[in-house]
Amino acid sequence: MNPSSSSSATDFAARLARLGLREEDVEERFARSSGPGGQHVNKVSTSVTLRHGPSGIAVTVQDSRSQAMNRQLARERLLAALEEARRAQKAEQRAAREKIRRQNRPRPRGVKRRMVDAKKKRGAVKKLRGRVE
């Protein structure tokens, strides 16, 4: 391993910890890539798939001919996907709280007055409907 990859591994672990996740939950699999690269990609398992077990989010990277580079890219993309999922979850919770708050607040005076006026008009229309004799 080169020095930059060890620092990226510690960076990955730190970002996982910041999200409150564990590195043991990440499953890593390798497979043979497809596409350009000739004999190298046909012989070496350079495609990297990372899957976060609890959330079920999976990322597959086969951008490079290098397995190490694909591992690094996959880790970055997995973290980005996990962070985005966390942001979306927080936004959803915030939206739900706001919806409940909007539902529970009292109606504005003007809206209430218009509703009452509309009910009175409707009542007057219905009262004019008499029995035809």
CATH of the domain at 121: 3.30.160.20
CA distance 2 to 122: 80
- Residue 132 belongs to a domain: no
131 in a domain, yes or no? no
Number of domains the chain is built from: 1
- pLDDT tens readout for residues 12-30: 788 888 888 888 888 999 8
Phi, psi of 116, rounded to the nearest 5 degrees: -65, -40
Examine residue 10 and state whether it is found in any structural domain, yes or no: yes
Instruction: Tell me the whole-structure pTM to 2 decimals.
Output: 0.68
Q: Which domain holds residue 7?
A: 3-125
Residue 66 CB neighbour total at 10 angstroms: 13
Averaged over 87-116, what is the pLDDT? Answer: 95
Residues contacting residue 31 through CB under 8 Å, at least 6 positions apart: 45, 47, 49
Burial class (CB in 10 A: 0-12, 13-18, 19+), 51: middle
